[in-house]
Structure 1
Amino acid sequence: MSHDFNTRSTPAYVGLVLRREFSSRVRTKPFLITNIVMVVVIVGAIVTASVIMSRASDHESVGVVGAASKLSPALVTAGDAQSNPVQTTKVPSASTARDKVENGDLDAALVPKSDGAYSVIVQSKLSPELRSVVAAAVTRQATNATLSKMGVDPAEVAKSVAQAGISVDAINAPKPHAGQRLGIAWVAMLLMFFQILMFGLYVAMGVVEEKSSRVVEVLLATIKPLHLLWGKVIGIGAVGLVQLIVIGGCALVAATATGVITVSGTAVAVFGSVVGWFIIGYLFFAVLYAAAGSLVSRQEDVNTAAMPITLLFMAMYMVSIYTLNAPDSTLGSVMSWIPPFSAMLMPLRIAAGVTGPGQILITILLMLAATAVLAFVAAKIYQRSILHSGDRISWRQAVRRP
């Protein structure tokens, strides 16, 4: 067995640790239950949002009694013009209309009065949107009646008014589906933030757990510190990647199937960018968290050792919040070029449609280069500190240690 270990290559050693880290986490009941619950909650929230949106887009039902039926075309036209669709239904009498409104069969009912005006029957109060539609329809009907009495064709007047309309020529026209793009960007930011932070901390806690239980001494008798470092980082990262793909994929499918998002092409592109940037961003922070874990011997000291990393991460989050509201701002544009801020900002800018292939490629290369340099430094700190026990080592001491 010893001979077998001695003849293994570096990838084989890393693979051993990787498989151990991956299987020990994904096969646990808490992991499986947590992911199932998260998928159910997210899909349930998306379905609920879909139901609410479909109800909000339903036609408002308006009953028309007697002479009020001549308002039906005007009501439908006014409702469509105001993006508040109206469906009219003829009702035989005012008492029947009142019953239908009371039972919830109608949202409102129009009843003609003797003086030529109309009464609107509602449950409690007339919504501002429906009031505007009814007022526009009544005004139009009264105007047409007056024009007819004066010998003027209402259709000709309507045609002239339509020709005198205005068109908007915006210098900075809003991008189509801006609201959906903003929502997708917000979800992408949250996914990146929680996944990288959570699994980065898992790396640090895993390192400390092995140090405190002396398991690391047994492992390092067989394998090198770098094998242990990269096996742990990649193994835990693979767990995070699987979780990200499962949760994000289910959310994407549910949102597309229910019609919550209609820009499915953008959503798929953003999801792909989130997966790619998660891998790069996770590697950047995971090696730092591994180094932080090697500086301490107790779990309660992890947060203190990792404080500089957490502060950097929170700075990224704050810039991302600002960029979410202004994707094309100077701050967002400049910071998206700087590692590791690009890991959080680029998925946002891709979702908002304010970046091109050139910037995407260059920022990926810059992030990879920064990650490679940082991994080299963090690996040195890890190698020098992993067997240390006792008081916490500061970052400055770890860098200067021979």
Structure 2
Amino acid sequence: MSAVWLVARREIIARARSKAYVISTVVLVVIVVALAIVSKLIGGVGSSDFTVGVTPSTASLAAPLSSSAKSIDQTVSTRTVSDEADGRAEVESGKLDALLIGDGTTVQVVVKKDLDTKLGNALHVMASQLAFSEQIKSLGGDPAAVNTAVADAKVSTTSLHPPHKYDSQQLVLGIIAGILIYLSLLITGQMVAQGVVEEKSSRVVELLLSAVRPWQLMAGKVLGIGIVGFIQVAVTGGAGVVAGLATGSLTIPASAAASTVIWLVVWYLLGFVAYALAFAAVAALVSRQEDVGGVVTPMMMLVIVGYVLGISILPSNPGSRLIEVLSMVPTFAPTMMPMRVAMGGVPAWQLAVAVAGMAVVIPLLVMLSARIYRNAVLRSGARVKLREAWQAA
């Protein structure tokens, strides 16, 4: 293990001092901090979907409009203007999305060009309620009492398995966690592959193997680059959480945010070790940097597919059965499970299955990758076929 650590130390010093590593780390931190600030600014400015003006004669429609919009999952704020002329001027300037005019018994609206469909839906709901109330009055009833009774009427639902309630901020955290894992695996995996080919093409590997064994060289390289990547992920994730909590854009409990970062790091480590071993093994098959892309593409596709499926399905369907199953498969778990954990609602047994799967796969990859690496890393020239590398003595 001392030999492994010597190789790892060499990788850590070389990678950590590189300008590319420092710049990429700073850029990632700046991006996540900027996202937190922008999220806070957008949340503070755009608190409603639409702003509608009301005149003194239509002020009575302000509350019904907000209630109608809420019933169809829209947020409409109202602002009273001094008179219709001022309201029309604000609509013209874009300060108001629409202006309610008339005597308040019917819905008449002024817009700059076209009425937005979503705002129109809210207005149509309110118009229906006003017409309903007028009919009740004409029949001698009390519209307020009828509307209250209708509003209080609810469907009683009994769930055999109560669904998990996803918070919008948890969804965002899950997506960000998936992006960080995805980028880190691609960047550090490529670093491992390029490092192997660089040593092989420059014949440095022959000198190194005179002092250490092949498996020690491969393990040291994976360990060193893994530590460098771990620092980058931990710093970026921690900076994002601190910025979110400090600006107030992240309102979930600090313990939940910290848990997300911890699981982000855990899954980065598990995913990196598994993929880095595979990257190191297949990179040993070639002797030129130009050929690296061809041999690492299959592993990269597994990372990309897992990320794309997760980022495409989870935001709209967090409880997707397909994602549940795939997130427990070792090839997809490093990119999918961090997203699900950040969103919450992952059963403990599913998390245990995913971790256990990685714990089983990693030792197997150590043995398989070490054999391929040992048999191929000293063979220069043409690309070594995988079967030849496996069968070589």
TM range (shorter): 0.7 to 0.9
Distance in 2 of aligned mates of 1:330 and 1:134: 38
Instruction: Find out whether 1:30 has 2:20 as its counterpart.
Output: yes
Query: Is this contact kept in 2: 1:61–1:89, CA < 8 A?
Result: no
Tell me the number of residue pairs that the alignment of Structure 1 and Structure 2 aligns.
390
Q: Deviations over 1:19-75 (max 9, x none)?
A: 221121122222222222233234334433444444442375444334333434434
Instruction: Find out whether 1:101 has 2:91 as its counterpart.
Output: yes
Q: Report the counterpart of residue 77 of structure 2 in structure 1.
A: 86
Q: Secondary structure at 1:87's aligned position in 2?
A: strand
Q: Report the counterpart of residue 390 of structure 1 in structure 2.
A: 381
Q: Report the counterpart of residue 196 of structure 1 in structure 2.
A: 185
Distance in 2 of aligned mates of 1:232 and 1:248: 24
Distance in 2 of aligned mates of 1:204 and 1:221: 21
Instruction: Find out whether 1:374 has 2:365 as its counterpart.
Output: yes
Instruction: Find out whether 1:357 has 2:348 as its counterpart.
Output: yes
Distance in 2 of aligned mates of 1:96 and 1:313: 57
Q: 2:110 aligns with which of 121, 137, 141?
A: 121
Q: Report the counterpart of residue 156 of structure 1 in structure 2.
A: 145
Query: Is this contact kept in 2: 1:384–1:398, CA < 8 A?
Result: yes
Distance in 2 of aligned mates of 1:181 and 1:164: 32
Offset, 1:336: 4.0
Q: What RMSD over aligned residues (CA atoms) do the two structures have, in Å? A: 3.5
Distance in 2 of aligned mates of 1:362 and 1:129: 44
Offset, 1:233: 0.8
Q: Secondary structure at 1:387's aligned position in 2?
A: coil
Change in Cα spacing, 1:298 to 1:360, as seen in structure 2 (3 Å) is same
Counterpart of 1:29 in structure 2: which amino acid? K
Offset, 1:375: 0.5
Query: Is this contact kept in 2: 1:69–1:90, CA < 8 A?
Result: no
Counting only pairs closer than 5 Å after superposition, residues 252-263 of structure 1 correspond to structure 2 as: 252-257=241-246, 262-263=251-252
Query: Is this contact kept in 2: 1:185–1:348, CA < 8 A?
Result: yes
Identical aligned pairs, as a percentage? 34
Distance in 1 of aligned mates of 2:168 and 2:379: 52
Question: For the pair shown, which has the larger CA radius of gyration, 1 or 2?
Answer: 1
Distance in 2 of aligned mates of 1:275 and 1:353: 17
Counterpart of 1:108 in structure 2: which amino acid? A
Counterpart of 1:342 in structure 2: which amino acid? A
Change in Cα spacing, 1:373 to 1:155, as seen in structure 2 (3 Å) is closer
Q: Report the counterpart of residue 251 of structure 1 in structure 2.
A: 240
Query: Is this contact kept in 2: 1:177–1:263, CA < 8 A?
Result: no
- TM-score, scaled to structure 1: 0.81
Q: Report the counterpart of residue 275 of structure 1 in structure 2.
A: 265
Q: Report the counterpart of residue 205 of structure 2 in structure 1.
A: 216
Offset, 1:235: 0.6
Query: Is this contact kept in 1: 2:56–2:80, CA < 8 A?
Result: no
Distance in 2 of aligned mates of 1:266 and 1:183: 13
Counterpart of 1:48 in structure 2: which amino acid? V
Instruction: Find out whether 1:58 has 2:58 as its counterpart.
Output: no
Change in Cα spacing, 1:32 to 1:96, as seen in structure 2 (3 Å) is same
Query: Is this contact kept in 2: 1:71–1:141, CA < 8 A?
Result: no
- TM-score, scaled to structure 2: 0.82
Q: Secondary structure at 1:306's aligned position in 2?
A: helix
Counterpart of 1:225 in structure 2: which amino acid? P
Distance in 2 of aligned mates of 1:383 and 1:124: 71
Change in Cα spacing, 1:269 to 1:389, as seen in structure 2 (3 Å) is same
Change in Cα spacing, 1:71 to 1:24, as seen in structure 2 (3 Å) is same
Offset, 1:309: 3.6
In structure 2, the gaps of 5 or more residues are none
Query: Is this contact kept in 2: 1:281–1:343, CA < 8 A?
Result: yes
Change in Cα spacing, 1:386 to 1:179, as seen in structure 2 (3 Å) is same
Change in Cα spacing, 1:97 to 1:244, as seen in structure 2 (3 Å) is same
Instruction: Find out whether 1:290 has 2:298 as its counterpart.
Output: no
Q: Deviations over 1:167-225 (max 9, x none)?
A: 45566765312655444443333333332232122112111111222222232333333
Query: Is this contact kept in 2: 1:46–1:255, CA < 8 A?
Result: yes
Q: Deviations over 1:333-367 (max 9, x none)?
A: 44444433333343344345454223323432332
Q: Report the counterpart of residue 5 of structure 1 in structure 2.
A: none
Counterpart of 1:210 in structure 2: which amino acid? E
Q: Deviations over 1:233-268 (max 9, x none)?
A: 111111111121222333334445556555455554
Distance in 2 of aligned mates of 1:308 and 1:156: 66
Change in Cα spacing, 1:162 to 1:309, as seen in structure 2 (3 Å) is closer
Query: Is this contact kept in 2: 1:66–1:111, CA < 8 A?
Result: no
Q: Secondary structure at 2:330's aligned position in 1?
A: coil
Counterpart of 1:99 in structure 2: which amino acid? A
